[in-house]
Amino acid sequence: MTAMLKLCWLVVCSALSVSSANPPHIVLIVADDLGWNDVSWNNPDISTPNLQDLASQGVILNSSYVMPVCSPTRGALLTGYYPYHLGLQHGIIKGDTPSFLTTTKSTVSEKLHDNGYTTHMVGKWHLGMCNWTYTPTYRGFDTSGGLLGGSAGHYDHMNGNGFDFRINTTVDHSYDGIHSTEAYTDIAINAINGQDPDKPMFLYLAYQAAHTPLETDPAYEAQYSSVVNDNRRIYSGMVTQMDDSVGRIRKALEDKGFLDNLVLVFISDNGGDVNNGGNNYPLRGSKSTYWEGGVRTPAFVYSKTHLDVTGYTQSNFLHAVDWYPTLLEVAGVSQSDNIDGVSQWDMIKSQGASARTEFVYNIDEIKNTAAIRVGSYKLTKGSPGSKSDIYDVPLTNRRRRAVRNRATSVKYRLFDIDADPTESRDLSRRLPDLVDQLKAKLDTLSATFTPAHVPAADSNGKPRNWGGVWTPGWCAGDL
């Protein structure tokens, strides 16, 4: 071996060993009900300077897809499986039902924990709480703090008639009267400050903002005093409040010395709820629908040192199921599970091609609805939106209008998303052969579904039985 080759070999091996010995800290931030048009890089009327700064120095993901509602997205995100393979395809997990994310699938937190990461979960869980087995500290997280259910008052932390705020497994009232965004940020900063700098950290920070109830500190609402619509004005304040909190998280990471070895991901769990202040313009539809506005959301990846190319927008698509293998690759953790997700790290890091050419929006055998994407074509089965097929197109910060489809008996719809991102032209009658091909593919995919797990409400889970607190411990079993 020549001296030059020997030197190159030593440099390469040294770099590999440093990478292996110093896996990056990973921060995964999930916003709640944040619409396409609810960030400043898509809408200058919204103030999100901290998010925009991180996004502009990283990679903006322009085709980041999630599920229409929150529990299915969170299940896909943490396991790498489509919800129709988890039994979560039919909707959200309700607190008084014995439903949960199955423990037969590993979570990314469990994988990272088993490979030396300290793991923290802060914020909204919404993946089951009828038994402790299905809660964060039993699913791979060393610590947790926040809401086990799906929604609660941002100040009183009351979910219906039950209190829902814990630090690890202990009911905690120390954040009563403090907005959930501020509370979760404080807990996350405490986790960062207490982190052993010699160990890699995985922080999963799932904000409640901007989910209902629409509540924000008055100073944030005042920034949007010109917005006439009450819901939109408060919602916008909630988004800016979350943005300020992301700035606080960044400062804590910098003060701890973590920014130089960090990968930070930001996504939303579904599209904006246009009936409650959200805005997905120009995309069609709302949260809870298969329209693009319900499932295509703002996202970016930031890193000072782990991205080969920065400051650009990546338009190739990525699905929520891809984050599980992607984050494991970032951490240098191998995985051999037969999951639905594929690692997109090369696409993100090096401006490469997407590792997938198709994905499943959802398959719901109870509603008899589904949607898939193959290349630029999207096939939907049944109604992609409400039963009346009315969808909302928010036109500005102040107003929106309802638009009705022409009467049609077509069970399947076909859209070319690249050419028609607003889904205004149904091509199913024009391209019947393509519809047949995609229907055949959908039938094949549908044959692999796990039946949706939709148990009835159980009075044993009511907070009145547990001192007015939502409390695990009243159900058993698994899927």
Q: How far does CA 209 lie from the centroid of its chain?
A: 12
| Share above pLDDT 90 across residues of the chain, in percent, rounded to a whole number | 89
When pLDDT is cut at 50, 70 and 90, the band that residue 66 belongs to is: very high
pLDDT digits (tens, 9 = 90+) for 382-396: 999 864 333 444 444
Residues facing 214 on adjacent strands:
none
pLDDT of amino acid 108: 98
* pLDDT (mean) for 445-467: 96
Of 140, 138, 119, 110, the C-alpha closest to 26 is: 119
Q: Which two tokens stand for residue 162?
A: 């039950």
Which distant-in-sequence residues (6+ apart) come within 8 Å of 45 by Cβ? Answer: 397
* pLDDT (mean) for 310-317: 96
C-alpha to C-alpha distance for 365 and 362, rounded to whole angstroms? 10
Pairing of strands 64-65, 318-319: parallel
Crossing angle, helix 323-331 and helix 70-79, to 10 degrees? 40
Helix/strand/coil for 165: coil
C-beta of residue 167 within 8 angstroms of C-beta of residue 123: no
Indicate which residue of 126, 154, 179, 453 is catalytic: 126
C-alpha to C-alpha distance for 84 and 95, rounded to whole angstroms? 20
Indicate if 70 belongs to the active site: yes
Residues facing 416 on adjacent strands:
377
When pLDDT is cut at 50, 70 and 90, the band that residue 381 belongs to is: very high
397 has a pLDDT exceeding 90: no
Check whether the bond before 213 is cis (ω within 30° of 0): yes
When pLDDT is cut at 50, 70 and 90, the band that residue 8 belongs to is: very low
Which distant-in-sequence residues (6+ apart) come within 8 Å of 140 by Cβ? Answer: 107, 108, 109, 110, 111, 112, 113, 114, 119
C-alpha to C-alpha distance for 362 and 291, rounded to whole angstroms? 11
When pLDDT is cut at 50, 70 and 90, the band that residue 354 belongs to is: very high
When pLDDT is cut at 50, 70 and 90, the band that residue 359 belongs to is: very high
The H or E element spanning position 167 is: strand 166-167
The listed range with the strongest mean pLDDT (12-16, 106-110, 475-479) is 106-110
435 has a pLDDT exceeding 50: yes
When pLDDT is cut at 50, 70 and 90, the band that residue 5 belongs to is: very low
C-alpha to C-alpha distance for 5 and 10, rounded to whole angstroms? 8
Helix/strand/coil for 42: coil
